[in-house]
Structure 1
Amino acid sequence: MGNKCFRKFCRGIVRGIVKIFYRVEYIGEKYPEEGPYVICPNHLSILDIVFVILHSKKRWVYFMAKSELYKHKLSAWFLDKMGAFPVRRGQCDVRSIKRAVTLIQEGKLVCIFPQGTRQKGNKILPPRRGVAMLSALTGAEVIPVFIERKAKIHKKTKVYVGKPVNTGLDRNSSKEEIAKKSVELMDIVYNLPEVYKDK
């Protein structure tokens, strides 16, 4: 079974499971039907990436996964099949960045959690520069996504999807400009419920 068929098969199964056990409501925009974009969601639970992927019925979402998940051959094989690629958290992982850039240049959707790890409690974690840096390196626009709450069985979870954001960054942008834009993007993510409050 090829990767495309495998992903389609898995997505169908997972979509059915989520529909039964999780009440996910998507509010806002659909993902663009074509073109490269960086998807930028907040991160509360392991199911966040599932909700991000399931919002797209046609296109596949590639994503970074922490390198610790690749220690076992089976999980590494599965993640690879699902379009994930490893990232070493807390480091400047050049290999991971190159992989993300390549995917974006190929016109793919790539999801990166800007905060780098899951939020625990109510304290909002500051963003890292990964999303803005990829936008600077590729010119790709950023799709902000806000996940309202940590997923719980039979509890409604609202997922807000915003319009693509042109960061205005390029390869000549300074570290300071990229850092500033990272904060601005995070603010956009957390403001999505206000933007779509009447939807």
Structure 2
Amino acid sequence: MKRTDSAYRLARFVVLIIAKTVFRLKVTGKENLPKDGSILLCANHSSNWDPVFLVSAIPTSRSVRYMAKEELFKIPGLKQLMTAAGTYPVGRGQGDRQALKRTIELLKTDETVGIFPEGTRSAPGEFTAAQPGVGFFALRSPAQIVPVAIIGNYRPFKPMRVVIGKPVDIEDLRDQRGAAKAISERILEEIKTVYYNHV
């Protein structure tokens, strides 16, 4: 089920104000978001602000869920805010099966899950190698894969942009050996294409 509860709407309202006023966020490509079915929202990652920008860019009807390192859920106040925003914990570096299972379940029930294919942050405008995790989720769910470019220098009162690209076709890779890695690499290349076409 899509999350449209009041807690998520309130959390999104707060971060949207921050994104619009502090970072002058502009969003293009909303027409590329599928209207039905689940979405695996894949973006480049340079800052802890990136989830805020993605939540702000995507309509409430397509509320975005995220995995976040479990240590953050031990911080009073932050735990409640993250839970309200639809975030759920993952034990980093442990192959957290519960978090992986939950992600696949979400992607099988018309939810939108945000993920950063590189698995770590890189400097704005730079990219590291794609990790196989995003390909793993793509193979095990019917989710449509949407590449997103986050563009800007993350400085207050300087414009940030979120550009939503067209869904990525991976059907020709599904039966290949090492498909998860190949799919991850294709998704990252699509993110790069969206990014470089709009800088």
User: TM-score, normalising length from structure 1?
Assistant: 0.87
The one-letter amino acid paired with 2:18 is: I
Deviation at 1:53, TM superposition (A): 1.0
Cα shift readout 1:22-68 (whole Å, capped 9, x = no counterpart): 12122224422321010000101111111111112232111111222
The one-letter amino acid paired with 1:5 is: S
- Residue 183 (structure 1) aligned with residue 152 (structure 2): no
- Residue 144 of structure 1 aligns to a residue in which SS? strand
User: Which of 42, 64, 67 is matched with 1:64 structurally?
Assistant: 67
Partner in structure 2 of residue 16 of structure 1: 17
Check 1:125–1:46 CA distance in 2 against 1; reply closer, same or farther (3 A cut). Answer: same
- Residue 25 of structure 2 aligns to a residue in which SS? strand
Check 1:185–1:136 CA distance in 2 against 1; reply closer, same or farther (3 A cut). Answer: same
Partner in structure 1 of residue 51 of structure 2: 49
Further displaced range: 108-117 or 85-94: 85-94
Cα shift readout 1:111-142 (whole Å, capped 9, x = no counterpart): 11111121147652211111111110013221
The one-letter amino acid paired with 1:19 is: K
Deviation at 1:78, TM superposition (A): 2.3
Instruction: Give the paired residue count.
Output: 194
- RMSD of aligned C-alpha atoms? 2.2
- Residue 144 (structure 1) aligned with residue 152 (structure 2): no
Distance (whole Å) between structure 2 residues aligned to residue 147 and residue 7 of structure 1: 22
- Residue 122 of structure 2 aligns to a residue in which SS? coil
Contact 2:150 2:162 in 1 (8 A): yes
Distance (whole Å) between structure 1 residues aligned to residue 111 and residue 124 of structure 2: 33
Check 1:3–1:123 CA distance in 2 against 1; reply closer, same or farther (3 A cut). Answer: closer
User: TM-score, normalising length from structure 2?
Assistant: 0.87
The one-letter amino acid paired with 2:21 is: I
- Residue 78 of structure 1 aligns to a residue in which SS? helix
Q: Percent identity?
A: 28
After superposition, where does 1:83-162 map in structure 2 within 5 Å? 83-120=86-123, 123-162=126-165
Further displaced range: 101-110 or 13-22: 13-22
The one-letter amino acid paired with 1:82 is: A
Give ranges in structure 2 of 5+ residues lacking alignment. none
Give ranges in structure 1 of 5+ residues lacking alignment. none
